[in-house]
Amino acid sequence: MDKTTEGHRNGALLARPGHTTLPSRHQGGFHPVTASGGQKGMVFVPELDNPATRLPLAVVLHGASGIDGGLVEMTVAHARSSRMIVIAPKSKDTSWDILRGGYGPDVTAIDEMLGWTMSRHPVDPERIAISGFSDGGSYALSLGLMNGELFSHVLAFSPGFTMHKRREGQPQIFICHGLRDDILPIEPCGRSLGQRMRAAGYNVDYCEFDDGHVVPREMVNRSMSAFLAHGAGKEA
């Protein structure tokens, strides 16, 4: 049964790190997770010598029809080498709820998957990112701006828009967009968003690349390097 709350309908994510209750259940690898509304997801956890280590965490959101441009795979590669948790939820419909009538069921699912993960694995509160490609990049920006006390970083690959209802916190923002994108053209989309985010006072790393509607590996590497370096060395 879908457990959507009023907070979720306003785009609020309530899960927070620091409430690990099942540390003995740490197990590296891929773990399937199903939300109360039926949305599927995958959680990747790296192998650890010390399961009490606080880990950075990245939520990765696909684009329309589940297409992620290889973003999940490339993020998991960083997770393996740099010891990071990855949550990759799937939307209830072909794209995220804000495009299908308003915030609600997908916010609930993401919140539940965050709670599931944080109850089992210590998470570094200073390194929690939300990222996405295309529609997922737009959704990552929207949720990230509304939940800036949770997310330290928002990583948007070829986003089209943001539909945030409010803003909180000061997450660091990465936006990249292809010069030859014929699906979400750069000028009204990524370029405009980068300018607007800077004007709103955010720390923005905005990049353009000579390609179309894709996720270049070098852009993932750039965004992940900055995210993982943030607050590194402070883990317990």
Q: What is the pLDDT of residues 12-57, one digit of tens each?
A: 999 999 766 555 456 789 999 999 999 999 999 998 888 788 999 9
Q: How far, in Å, CA of 182 to CA of 39, rounded?
A: 30
Instruction: List, for residues 47-101, the tens digit of each pLDDT value.
Output: 888 878 899 999 999 999 999 999 999 999 999 999 999 999 999 999 999 988 8
- Indicate the pLDDT class of residue 216, thresholds 50, 70 and 90: very high
Q: How far, in Å, CA of 98 to CA of 203, rounded?
A: 25
Q: Kindly report the pTM of this predicted structure.
A: 0.94
In the chain, how many H helices and how many E strands? 6, 8
Q: How far, in Å, CA of 134 to CA of 58, rounded?
A: 17
